[in-house]
Each structure stands twice: as structure tokens, then as C-alpha cells.
Structure 1
Amino acid sequence: MAKYNKADIERRMNGAVESLKSDLGGLRTGRANVTLLDPVVCDVYGAHMPLNQVATVSAPEPRMLTVQVWDKANMAAVEKGIAYANLGLNPMIDGQTLRLPMPDLTEERRKELAKLAGKYAENSKIAIRNVRRDGMEALKEDEKKKEISEDDRKRHEDDVQKLTDRFVAECDAAAEAKEKEIMTQ
């Protein structure tokens, strides 16, 4: 089976944290941010395509996003994709551009978004713990095959636990910062 590899474990845990940061970047705060539209998918040319492959997104003002659609025939599909993304944005068509004013967040919506940030963090921590479990199993397997001693296994298990603690703390810090940003803007 799998042989213990600390670098691989660290890489996979870091991947979970990076994924969390990407997910949190898509959560809306009061300010316009082009990453907000990253999860938007449009049905164009008979396929599901990410918005950034059919249009250019920019933030010309602090409370406004614009989406410049490259092919005018895709305007309706892009507008529908933004609506289906359930981001609370109402696109206004202006020629080949969609204008997306950022509405003020209600207290209720802020709490929902903060809760969602917490859920994203929990999913990342679960992924990190799964990587830890894989590492621990690989160490036990290596010890069983007599490739490492019991002392080595215990020392490596401590290393894996320290990595786990570090990356879980990073997840908590990222989620806490995002929740604070959501609640104060």
C-alpha cells in the first residue's frame, strides 16, 4: 500500500487550505471583488463553461462589478448563469456589458454568509484529518512490514499530528478573518 511520505502529506494538507481560501474568496462582502463570480457557470456553445472563459470581469467601482461578454449571443446565458449562482446580484444589461451593483448586505444575509464560511472551514478541516488518517495508516503499514521501527513510527506520527494542528489552525484563522470581514463591511 502507501508508503509514508511527509512531503506528500504536507502538500495535500496545504491543498485543503488553499481550496478553503479560494472558496472564501468567492463569498460576498460589501465590496465588489472579481473572484465573487468565480463559481458562475454558463451554458454556452452546448457546454457548461466558467464565466471567465466567455467574458471579462472587472470591478471599476468599489460597489460595482462589470461583465464584458465577448460574444453578444451569450448575453442571456451569462445573465442566467449569474442568476443561478444565487449570489444575490441583479444584473443590468448595458449593450454587451452586464453591470452588477453590490447591494448592501442585510444582517440576516451576513449571518448566512458567516455560517457558510464556517461550513467551508469545517469541510477543509475534515479533508486535513483524512490526510492525517492516511499518513497514520501508512506509518502503521510501514512498521508492520518492518520498514521502520516502533520509535520511528511514533516520532513520525508526532510530525503528522503537528502538521495537522498547523493546517487546522490556518483554516480556523482564514474562516475567522472572513467571518469578521463579512460582519463588519
Structure 2
Amino acid sequence: MEDEIEFIIDTAKENMEKAIDHLKKQLQNIRAGKANPAMLGSVMVEYYGAQTPLQQVANVNTPDARTISIQPFEKSLIKDIEKGIMMANLGFNPMNNGESVIINVPPLTEERRKQLTKQAKAEAEDAKIGVRNDRKSANNELKKLDISEDLLRDAENEVQELTDAHITRIDSILENKEKEIMTI
């Protein structure tokens, strides 16, 4: 019986960790003031008839805080890379110099910063909902077991502690992202 309880709690913990990992990925796509190669994570490029992630057809780096440089592995891809960036609708205007694609990352306006902060808060709230759903699933599984009320209460308390710890982590991650977005 102890093994089943432990298994349910471990599964809940694993699912809560996945929610936090997903939140971190989502927040990476929200751009803060400075250039970051992760900003182009959603860009797909037409490569020999297939949609391919930009990172698989080019080197993406940031020579300075306001510039992203994309060095394609094949020069013939420059036009496709520019098209892919425009199709991703990230608000960037790519330029090419015949060798590489260069993106100047404009500084964020105050209004845009507030929009991005709201977007980050929405992503954090989604992660919290995921963690709470994992708690609910774990508690439902625990109630299905044929165990004493004391064991059930202890297991539910452990699940609640896990939930509280993960929600605190989500709040901390959000707070850091908000600072990053609002820093000029």
C-alpha cells in the first residue's frame, strides 16, 4: 500500500515539474529588452520542401544586446530564412548582407512591456492551473485506494505541500521574468 501512495505522489511531482518546465519554455519566447537567440525558437524555414527549425539550418547568435545574427549553413537559404522570420510574425524586420541575416531588436515601449508582462502572468497562471489539476488527480487516485483515513490525510497533506512548493516556484519564475521585461 505504501508503494502505491508513493507512486501516486511521485507521479504528481513529476507532472508538476513538467508544468514548470513548460512555463520556462513559454517564458523564453516572451522577449525582454535584449536580443536572445531563443526569440527565434518558433521560426521555421523551408528547406528542401520541408519546414525545418531555424536552428537546424543556421547558426544563431547575438553579437550585442540589440542584434541577432543568423549565419546560414548554405547561402541559398538567406531568402527562405528572411521569409520564415516574417511568417513567424515576431515583429522583426530581417536584413541580409549577402552572407548572413541580421535582425536589429528594437527597444520595447512601455506599453509593449506591460503587454508582455500580462502575457507572462497568463502563462504563469496556466502553469498554476496545471499544478492544481495534478494535485486534484493525485488526491482522486489516493481516495480510490483502500487505506485508513490517517494515511489518506497524510498523503493528501504531502500532495498539498508539493503543490504549494511548485506554486511558490512558479511565482518566483514569474517575478524574475517581470523584472527582466521591465528592465530597460
Q: TM-score, normalised by structure 2?
A: 0.90
Q: Which moved more, 1:39-48 or 1:124-133?
A: 39-48
Whether 2:36 is the aligned partner of 1:37: answer no
Provide the C-alpha distance between the structure 1 equivalents of 2:172 and 2:51, rounded to a whole number of angstroms: 34
Q: What amino acid is the match of 2:153?
A: K
Provide the C-alpha distance between the structure 2 equivalents of 1:169 and 1:86, rounded to a whole number of angstroms: 33
1:71 to 74, 91, 101: 74
The percent identity for this pair of structures is: 42
TM-aligned CA deviation for residue 96 of structure 1 = 3.2
Q: TM-score, normalised by structure 1?
A: 0.89
Provide the C-alpha distance between the structure 1 equivalents of 2:182 and 2:151, rounded to a whole number of angstroms: 47
Whether 2:139 is the aligned partner of 1:136: answer yes
Q: Helix, strand or coil for the counterpart of 1:167?
A: helix
Count of equivalent residues = 179
Q: Which consecutive unaligned segments of at least 5 residues does structure 2 have? A: none
TM-aligned CA deviation for residue 109 of structure 1 = 1.1
Q: What amino acid is the match of 2:162?
A: L
TM-aligned CA deviation for residue 126 of structure 1 = 1.4
Provide the C-alpha distance between the structure 1 equivalents of 2:46 and 2:128, rounded to a whole number of angstroms: 33
List, as ranges, runs of 4+ consecutive aligned residues in structure 1 with deviation greater than 3 Å.
none
Provide the C-alpha distance between the structure 2 equivalents of 1:160 and 1:116, rounded to a whole number of angstroms: 29
TM-aligned CA deviation for residue 71 of structure 1 = 2.3
TM-aligned CA deviation for residue 157 of structure 1 = 0.7
Q: Which residue of 1 aligns with 2:18?
A: 15
TM-aligned CA deviation for residue 106 of structure 1 = 1.0
Whether 2:140 is the aligned partner of 1:170: answer no
Q: Which consecutive unaligned segments of at least 5 residues does structure 1 have? A: none
Query: What is the Cα-based RMSD across aligned positions, in Å?
Result: 1.5
Provide the C-alpha distance between the structure 1 equivalents of 2:115 and 2:121, rounded to a whole number of angstroms: 10
Q: Which residue of 2 aligns with 1:155?
A: 154
What does 1:51-70 correspond to in 2, within 5 Å?
A: 51-70=54-73
Q: Which residue of 2 aligns with 1:91?
A: 94
